[in-house]
Amino acid sequence: MRIVVKTYLLIGILISLAAFNLFLLYQQEQSTSSQSYSIIRAGDVKVKAESISSLATSIANGNLQDKKKMQEEIDEVQSILTIIKNGGVIKGHALEKIPESISSEYNKVLSTWKFFKSEATQVEKTSVFDLEATSAMNYVLQKNQELVLYTDALTKDLQNLDRNYNIHKQIAKDLAEGAKIIGQQSLLISIGEGDDVQKVLKQERLEFEIGIRKLLQISTADIDVESVGAIHEELTPIPRENSESLRKLDPLWESVQIKIKILEERALLSPEFSSAKNKMNAEKLILFGNIDDLLDSWNNEITNQNSKEQIVIQILLAIDIAVFILVLYVIRQSLSPLESITKALSRVKEGVYGEKIEYSGTDEVGQLVENFNIMSDTIKQKEAEAKKTDTAKDEFLAMITHELKTPLVPIQGYADMLLSEHLGKLTSKQKDRIGIIKSSSESLLSMISDLLDAQKLELGQLRMKKEQSNIKDTIDKALEILKPQSEKNNIKISSNAVDFTINHDPERIRQVITNLIKNSLTAVEPNSGKIELIMEILPTEIKISVKDNGTGIPIDKQKDLFKKFYQVDATLTRERGGSGLGLAICKGIIESHGGQILVVSIPNQGSTFAFTIPKETSKETKFPVNSA
């Protein structure tokens, strides 16, 4: 049977079973709907009570337009409780009256509702805010900006005074910071923060008062300075020409301080409102508890009445589970071959081609398997052809690169010969032009050498002449090559390399170090650039890092740095040239030594390129240290 036919058949069974279940559930719903609506409406009393408490608070806060809405909510709750007791209709739904067996729970709800309604009415009539504390808070917030401006101005007035006024300057800075904190704490009080904020505000007020008194030559003997970590002291009077801001600050602070003291001692909410609201909330919780008891009792009553319907539901549930398991089994049996196809596709994703899937069916899965087998063979053939083409291309490119390198040697040689004036005197202009020829040929030769090395790495033909050699000599020779360029740009290069024998190709490792330092030389600024070569001897390897304080490398560019031909700046107008092969060649050389190369860079903070070389049979040298 085809999978599509099986699927339609199973869907038909599920739809039929679902229709039968819906029919039975509908019958049960019709028999219990009136009781359900009654329970829902009883639960609505909790929602309405929550709304009434919010509206009462809103009215006390001055929103008188909510008064009508609150009365409507109270009337609606009263109507719901009456209909629940006697039965009736609400919004087109018939409600059944409560059973006699739970009438005591209903009476508790009715009684607590009356108490709650009384307390909500009391909250409605009470004012929310303490007017004096609110006025003080508004005044402090209003004047705080002036306080900040005057303290900042005071700091500027004192900044040109000599060192005899250093304490005055520090006090002025503390006053400026304290003014800001006072504003922040006052704002926190305005949004309802509690005792901790008031304690912080009091401490800031004391510190501000002590500081301004000291600057004004006023005694602090009546203030508990130790409580805020201060001391009594007399300061040198501030010259009059530097105390204009202080004279303006003094009266402003006197007026603000009075209001701050009010905020320290009194909350924004009035005590009468808090008391009334707490009583209302307490009655609300009692009402909620009684409603929950009523609903629990009512639900238990319904459960006892509908025990037979519950047995039917359990039987239907068991049938549903059995049918669902059966459907899952049939579907799994029909689609099990897809698992083999998925595994085969995963192998293709990993680069394994030509594998066959064994399946003898003739359904849609069988057709899919046949097409996959054909596709796998085709990809295998194409991959083999592509590899041959790539190998031929790489060999051809390596040959062409080698041939391009050959004529550059005599060009450089004759350029050196001309510049040395062995063939005759040259004018300054001729020397400049020949110098351009020489530098251009050197750049071209460097790029061709990089390209040749990259191709040899790709073909596995780059020779490594590893030997037990002193790594310090390799590092020193690389630094010596780059010394003229670093001195020309006044860039400091330091090294902590020590004598250590390790199995490596000195020429190739020197090529890696030279390449990394050249990159750093282009990244740092002349006259301020610093490059550190750091050598670390680890238990199983040595680690060599080249660290600079240059421009760094963007985070999104770092993952591709070691790819061939990759340029961090790929625009045609980039400031620094290069083939984009240097780091790729470095990576190939280090990996050929069995090590790893990595980069850590933070934009505008510099970069660190590091590579490792396994010790293998390495040993520490016993060479005498050359003092030179």
Whether 534 and 547 have beta carbons less than 8 Å apart is answered as: yes
Task: Inform me whether the pLDDT recorded for 520 exceeds 50.
Answer: yes
Task: Inform me whether the pLDDT recorded for 628 exceeds 50.
Answer: no
- Which residue, of 427, 462, 497, is where some domain finishes? 462
User: CB under 8 Å to 554, separation ≥6 — which residues?
Assistant: 568, 603
User: Phi/psi of residue 354, each to 5°?
Assistant: 90, -5
In this prediction, residue 544 carries a pLDDT of 95
Task: Inform me whether the pLDDT recorded for 378 exceeds 90.
Answer: no
Structure-model confidence comparison of residues 585 and 457, the more confident one: 585
Q: What is the DSSP letter of 268?
A: S
Task: Inform me whether the pLDDT recorded for 617 exceeds 70.
Answer: no
Q: Note whether 376 and 425 are same-domain residues.
A: yes
Structure-model confidence comparison of residues 188 and 219, the more confident one: 219
Task: For 16-35, write each residue's pLDDT tens digit.
Answer: 767 777 766 665 565 467 77
Whether 211 and 171 have beta carbons less than 8 Å apart is answered as: yes
Which helix (H) or strand (E) element contains residue 121?
helix 103-124
In angstroms, how far is the first alpha carbon of the chain from the final one? 91
Percent of the chain at pLDDT > 70 equals 77
Structure-model confidence comparison of residues 356 and 628, the more confident one: 356
- Which residue, of 428, 462, 496, is where some domain finishes? 462
Mean pLDDT of all residues in the chain?
Answer: 80
Q: Note whether 439 and 485 are same-domain residues.
A: no
Extract the tokens encoding 528: 């301020």
Q: Looking at the domain assignment, is residue 354 inside a domain?
A: yes
Torsion 349-352-358-363 (CA) sign: positive
Q: Note whether 490 and 582 are same-domain residues.
A: yes
CATH assignment of the domain containing 516 = 3.30.565.10
Q: How confident is the model at residue 411 (pLDDT cuts 50, 70, 90)?
A: confident
Q: Looking at the domain assignment, is residue 624 inside a domain?
A: no
Q: How confident is the model at residue 621 (pLDDT cuts 50, 70, 90)?
A: very low
Task: For 355-373, write each residue's pLDDT tens digit.
Answer: 777 766 666 677 777 777 7
| Helical segments of 460-581, H only | 471-488, 506-523, 555-558
Q: Looking at the domain assignment, is residue 620 inside a domain?
A: no
Percent of the chain at pLDDT > 90 equals 19
Mean pLDDT for the stretch of residues 393-419: 68
Q: Note whether 185 and 244 are same-domain residues.
A: yes
Q: Looking at the domain assignment, is residue 458 inside a domain?
A: yes
Structure-model confidence comparison of residues 575 and 3, the more confident one: 3
Task: For 109-164, write each residue's pLDDT tens digit.
Answer: 889 898 888 888 887 777 666 667 778 888 888 989 999 999 999 999 999 899 98
In this prediction, residue 397 carries a pLDDT of 60
Structure-model confidence comparison of residues 329 and 610, the more confident one: 610
Q: Note whether 451 and 348 are same-domain residues.
A: yes
Q: Note whether 38 and 119 are same-domain residues.
A: yes
Q: Looking at the domain assignment, is residue 332 inside a domain?
A: no
Q: Note whether 594 and 609 are same-domain residues.
A: yes
Whether 256 and 147 have beta carbons less than 8 Å apart is answered as: yes
Q: Looking at the domain assignment, is residue 52 inside a domain?
A: yes
Mean pLDDT for the stretch of residues 46-53: 87
Q: How confident is the model at residue 611 (pLDDT cuts 50, 70, 90)?
A: very high
- Which residue, of 398, 429, 462, is where some domain finishes? 462
- How many folded domains does the chain comprise? 4
Q: Looking at the domain assignment, is residue 330 inside a domain?
A: no
In this prediction, residue 253 carries a pLDDT of 92
Lowest mean pLDDT among 209-213, 366-370, 443-447: 443-447
Integer Cα distance of 448 and 269 in angstroms: 82
CATH assignment of the domain containing 164 = 1.20.120.230
Residue 399 has a CB neighbour count (10 Å cut-off) of 12
Q: Note whether 70 and 113 are same-domain residues.
A: yes
Integer Cα distance of 410 and 215 in angstroms: 83
Task: Inform me whether the pLDDT recorded for 620 exceeds 50.
Answer: no
Structure-model confidence comparison of residues 382 and 459, the more confident one: 382
DSSP-assigned letters across all residues of 171-210: HHHHHHHHHHHHHHHHHHHHTT--HHHHHHHHHHHHHHHH
Q: How confident is the model at residue 567 (pLDDT cuts 50, 70, 90)?
A: low
What value, to the nearest 5°, has the Cα angle with vertex 474 and ends 469 and 477? 145
Structural domain harbouring 590: 467-614
Q: Note whether 123 and 135 are same-domain residues.
A: no
User: Phi/psi of residue 336, each to 5°?
Assistant: -60, -35
In this prediction, residue 321 carries a pLDDT of 83
Mean pLDDT for the stretch of residues 477-498: 90
Q: Looking at the domain assignment, is residue 350 inside a domain?
A: yes
Structure-model confidence comparison of residues 188 and 310, the more confident one: 188
Q: How confident is the model at residue 470 (pLDDT cuts 50, 70, 90)?
A: very high
Task: For 274-306, write each residue's pLDDT tens digit.
Answer: 777 888 889 889 988 988 998 888 888 777 777
- What pTM does this model have? 0.36
Q: How confident is the model at residue 472 (pLDDT cuts 50, 70, 90)?
A: very high
Extract the tokens encoding 36: 């359900």
Q: Note whether 182 and 307 are same-domain residues.
A: no
CATH assignment of the domain containing 42 = 1.20.1440
Lowest mean pLDDT among 161-170, 535-544, 552-561, 589-598: 552-561
Helix (H, G, I), strand (E, B) or coil at 496: coil
User: Phi/psi of residue 498, each to 5°?
Assistant: -125, 160
In this prediction, residue 583 carries a pLDDT of 85
Lowest mean pLDDT among 4-13, 118-127, 417-426: 4-13
Q: Note whether 76 and 186 are same-domain residues.
A: no
Q: Note whether 105 and 141 are same-domain residues.
A: no
